[in-house]
Structure 1
Amino acid sequence: MALKSIIYKAELQIADMDRHYYADHSLTIARHPSETDERMMVRLVAFALFASERLEFCKGLSDTDEPDVWQKDLTGAIETWIEVGQPDERRIAKASSRAGEVVVMAYGGRSSDIWWQGVRSKVERFGNVCVLSLAQSVGDALAHLAERSMRLQVTVQDGSAWVTSATAEPVAVEWSVLKAGTAA
């Protein structure tokens, strides 16, 4: 018998002063049985950092043809493709050819550094790919915010972000840009 996804609900209030984007999002997040709280929360932060009216979660781990998060235009063309984790260079190349902008949000500290050194030379040629790496402690701190029903506030200002909740300590989301994309 196959395990089913666990459903999480998130009320997300976003105040992104860098992009002048202020909105509330009611999100339903399906957490794949093999997905950790850390990865799910990094997906949620990726959504918050690139939020727009048309940004949406995809099947992610359940479907290899879709990213974790994407935004399509009104014709169905993929504007933004967001991958969380450490995808291989073939997946990044596929995303680069299908979307106007590709964002990879790596996490995991030292393992992300090793992953990046392995794919860097192959990924550098894709101008529309941006690679971000979360600071080592961010993923673990975000995992502590995971609840089946969440109310989170995300504030983005001056290239930094904070995620707050009434039930846990605030989390400073820090990242470094490993590769800037031309569309980013």
Structure 2
Amino acid sequence: MALKATIFKAQLAVADMDRGHYADYALTLARHPSETDERMMLRIVAFALHAHELLAFGKGLSDPDEPDLWRHDLTGLIEEWIALGQPDERELIKACGRARQVTVYNYGGGATQWWAGAEGKLARAKNLQVRRLGVSGDTAITTLAARNMNLNCSIQEQTIWIGNGELTVAVESTTLR
């Protein structure tokens, strides 16, 4: 019997000073059985960085043809394709052909090595942005994870502060491309 996804709910208040975007979102996340709390929380951070009323979570790990987040315009065209981790270069090139903008949020121990190997292969993808997320004390962000979350996220000068009222975690965002 296959394991089912675990459902998480989050009330997210976003204050993005870089974009001048301030809004509240009610999010429902399905965490794949193989997904870690860190990755799930970084999906919420990625949502906050691109917050928009049409931005939605994709099937992510459950379907390799869908990103972690995406935004379609009203005609169904893909405006944004957002992936986390170290996606396959061929899949990213295919995504660049399907979406106006593709963003990868690279994180974790092997992130630098992945980018070193993928950078040359992705040079022709003009609508691709690659960013590295670094969490001070990688386990700290996992302490925010709960089945029902009430989160605040402030973004200023590529630094993201996400917290639940008791704990706030800083996430640094560095643009690699």
TM-score normalised according to structure 2 size: 0.96
Secondary structure of 1:56's counterpart equals strand
For 1:156 and 1:166, locate their aligned partners in 2 and report how far apart those are by CA, in whole Å: 16
Question: 1:152 — aligned with what?
Answer: 151
Report what 2:8 is aligned to.
8
Structure 1: 5+ residue runs without aligned partners?
Answer: 180-184
Instruction: Give the counterpart letter for 1:174 in structure 2.
Output: E
Percent identity over the alignment is: 54
- 2:135·2:171 contact (CA, 8 Å) conserved in 1? no
Distance 1:39 1:73 in 2: 26
On the 8 A contact 1:81/1:102 being kept in 2, the answer is yes
Taking the aligned partners of 1:2 and 1:93, their CA distance within structure 2 comes to: 31
Gaps of 5+ in 2: none
Q: Which amino acid aligns with 2:164?
A: S
CA RMSD of aligned residues (A): 1.1
The residue type equivalent to 1:122 in the other structure is K
* Structure 1 residue 113: Cα displacement: 0.3
**C-alpha distance in 2 between matches for 1:136 and 1:15:** 19
Query: Normalization by structure 1: what TM-score?
Result: 0.93
- Give the aligned length: 177
Aligned partners of 2:119, 2:127: CA distance in 1, in Å?
A: 14
Report the Cα offset of residue 138 of structure 1. 5.8
CA distance in 2, matches of 1:52, 1:5: 25
8 Å contact kept, 2:151–2:163: yes
Counterparts of 1:51 and 1:139, CA distance in 2: 23
Mapping for residues 134-145 of structure 1, pairs under 5 Å: 134-135=133-134, 137=136, 139-145=138-144
1: distance between equivalents of 2:137 and 2:114? 18
- Does the 8 A contact of 1:95 with 1:102 survive in 2? yes
Number of the residue aligned with 1:116: 115
2:128 maps to a residue whose letter is: V
- Please state whether the residue corresponding to 1:174 is helix, strand or coil: strand
